[in-house]
Structure 1
Amino acid sequence: MDRVKSFKYAFNGLKLFFTNDHNGRIHLFAAVVVIALSFYLKLSGLEWIAILSVISAVIIAEIINSSIEKLADVVSPEIHPKIKIVKDLAAAAVLFAAFLAIAVGLIIFLPKLF
């Protein structure tokens, strides 16, 4: 029964992320657009793996970033230079994942579109 509860908590976390986090909704919208374009362009199996991997990487990074930000705000509600560093590093992980996703998207989609 504990395993079932852990899934319940995880799905609740996804629901909270996509309903309460502005960046989560942006990433979800971008993912839906990219997936629709991928169907339209009839990607190969390996291209699908690449696209789904980078979509997942960005969303995972953003979920971790949001978690760190919320925890940091509880630990230190006032502005603190070390908390700023932690938040900036977490945001950098999202940025890096997003750059990777853009690069993979360009490699896959540009030849098919032009």
Structure 2
Amino acid sequence: MIDSFRYALNGIAVSIKDERNLKIQMIVMMLVIIAGFLLKISRTEWIICIILFALVISAEMINTAIENAIDYTREMTVDKDNDLARIAKDVSAGAVLVIAIASAIVGLIIFIPKVLLLL
């Protein structure tokens, strides 16, 4: 069981270290956390933000796993330009984009009214 946690933590560390998009998403997450404290968002809004953080970061990590598995498989085959591999990678990236856009919209719904109150 300890090894399972070690492997999972290693996966998180490798993803953060190697994936540019995940680094960007982590920066956005930190900015949202700072804005949340400054604008005093409610407990429910914090819960929503935390769930969305987890969804976006998890989706990005799953996308990375899929892309790496496909790239590894491509190296083992003669047909490196397989349409199914390209489609799988595109769909995986698209799933991340859908979650990121939905998260941004929810974030705007939470934060815009609070910012407007300050003005």
Q: Which residue of 2 aligns with 1:94?
A: 96
Who wins on radius of gyration, i.e. which is larger?
2
Residue 36 of structure 1 corresponds to 34
2:74 to 76, 80, 89: 76
Q: 2:86 & 2:36 partners in 1: Cα distance?
A: 38
Q: Deviations over 1:3-47 (max 9, x none)?
A: 111000111001000001111111111111111111111111100
Runs of at least 5 residues in structure 1 that lack an aligned partner in the other structure: none
In structure 2, distance between residues paired with 1:43 and 1:26 = 23
Match of 2:108 in 1: 106
Q: TM-score, normalised by structure 2?
A: 0.91
Aligned length: 112
Moved over 6 A (4+): none
C-alpha distance in structure 2 between counterparts of 1:79 and 1:109, whole Å? 44
The alignment's C-alpha RMSD in Å is 0.8
Gaps spanning 5+ residues in structure 2: where? none
CA distance in 1, matches of 2:109, 2:83: 39
